[in-house]
Amino acid sequence: MLSMRSKVYSVGTVNNVFNRNKITMIDDDGIEWHRYDRLSLEYYIVEWRVIGLVQYHVTGELVEFADQVVDGEICYHLRCIETGDERYYSTYDDDIYMTRAVALVEIKERQDAEA
């Protein structure tokens, strides 16, 4: 369980598909080929800090939201350290990582999947 002021991490993505420059070359055999000056997607780590905890205590029947809210579930209110953006994170989300090392592994897996 996370506590107040804990740090967590997520992976951000920059889409460079329309910002790349195509570099065309001709090799010694006269074959023309090309490459780009950068990858189509770049990844970076976003650091978040826990600034609030919300714990649900369900009373009565929640017919409409029964599959979304679990009694006793904790939702974390996060603030981005760099930009100040805020978001919520629940234990059902899979895009938050508890350590920087795990986030780096996720970046590596995404890059390998593209190659």
Q: Which residues of the chain register pLDDT less than 50?
A: none
**What pLDDT does 54 receive?**
85
Q: Are 13 and 46 in contact (CB under 8 A)?
A: no
**What pLDDT does 57 receive?**
74
3-state secondary structure the chain: CCCCCCEEEEEEEEECCCCCCEEEEECCCCCEEEEECCCCEEEEEEEEEEEEEEECCCCCCCCCCCCCCCCCCEEEEEEECCCCCEEEEECCCCCCECCHHHHHHHHHHHHHHHC
Structural domain spans, the chain:
7-14+44-114
Q: Are 84 and 77 in contact (CB under 8 A)?
A: no
**What pLDDT does 64 receive?**
64
